[in-house]
Amino acid sequence: EQSNPQTFALQGKNVLVTAGPTVEKVDAVRYFTNRSSGKMGYALAEAARNLGANVILVSGETSLSQPSGVEFIQISSAEEMFQAVKERMDDMDMIIKAAAVADYTPVKTVNNKMKKQDGNLELTFKRTTDILKYLGEHKDKQYLVGFAAETDNVETYAMGKLKKKNADVIVANHVANQEIGFRSSDNEVEMFFANGDRVPLAKESKQKIAFKILNEITSRWED
Ligand code: CTP
Ligand code: CA
């Protein structure tokens, strides 16, 4: 038996993490995507695993290697991510939406390579499903963790997303500073909890931030 119960704060819990960008195909060689290295989501999946959870990692295309000891599901588009999450949500105790999901996908996908034409190209995009919002509308026991990368008005937007998506916590980061977030190995975030708690986490490696995020969450479960 471990002397430190925090080490196994997620023992036996089922945790699903989404990570990385989604890729929305335009034609055979072109796509529309979001900036995301996947590092924060992968760090969260590994931290949850180390805390004793059974982890499912639903990942978009990243250059990271598959973490050991987690169930890995590779997806490409927002729609594929939605289906993968929806199918598994009932069994989950916690769902962490660290993925940068494309908000729009082309109305029409061309299978061949489109040839260039004179003049401008106009593409029409439609909205994707807001996966976190769907989860918020259909959850029972699942603890929902959302992310918000903002360039401005971080507090207002993060609190808005918390409410609109019925999440339990939103982890917000300020992306105006290119050193932080995206491809960086460090992150600096602020957690906005549904009960009104606000927890800033100072700049540190994404691994350490991941542990702190999970500790802030699980310590509130024990109350
Ligand atoms: N999210 C999602 N499905 C989408 C879009 C976003 O599940 N189709 C999730 C993200 O994974 C993240 C949270 O919602 O956990 C917030 O994403 P974000 O892009 O910051 O917010 P949006 O609601 O998409 O609003 P906007 O991009 O306009 O800021
Ligand atoms: Ca978005």
| pLDDT tens digits along 160-196 | 999 999 999 999 998 865 555 566 778 889 999 999 9
Residue 161 marked ligand-binding: yes
User: What is the number of the ligand closest to the CA of 127?
Assistant: 1
Environment class of residue 111 by beta-carbon count within 10 Å: exposed (0-12), middle (13-18) or buried (19+)? exposed
All residues with CB under 5 Å from ion ligand 2: 103
Considering the chain, what is the average pLDDT of its residues?
Answer: 93
Ligand 1 center to residue 205 CA distance, Å?
A: 23
Residue 116 labelled as part of a binding site: no
Minimal CA–CA distance to 36: which of 15, 49, 18, 48?
A: 18
Tokens 């491809």 belong to 183
Per-residue pLDDT, 46: 98
pLDDT at position 34 over 80: yes
126-150 pLDDT, tens digit each: 999 999 999 999 999 999 999 999 9
Which residue's CA is the closest to the ligand 1 atom numbered 8? 130
Contact 137 CB / ligand 1 (< 6 Å): no
Q: Does domain 5-104+122-221 have CATH number 3.10.100.10?
A: no
Q: How far is the CA of 199 from the centre of ligand 1 (A)?
A: 20
Q: Is 34 a catalytic site residue?
A: yes
Average of pLDDT values for 203-223? 92
ipTM value greater than 0.85: yes
At 186 the pLDDT is 83
Phi-psi region of 196 (alpha: psi -120 to 50; beta: other; left: phi over 0): left
Record the pTM: 0.94
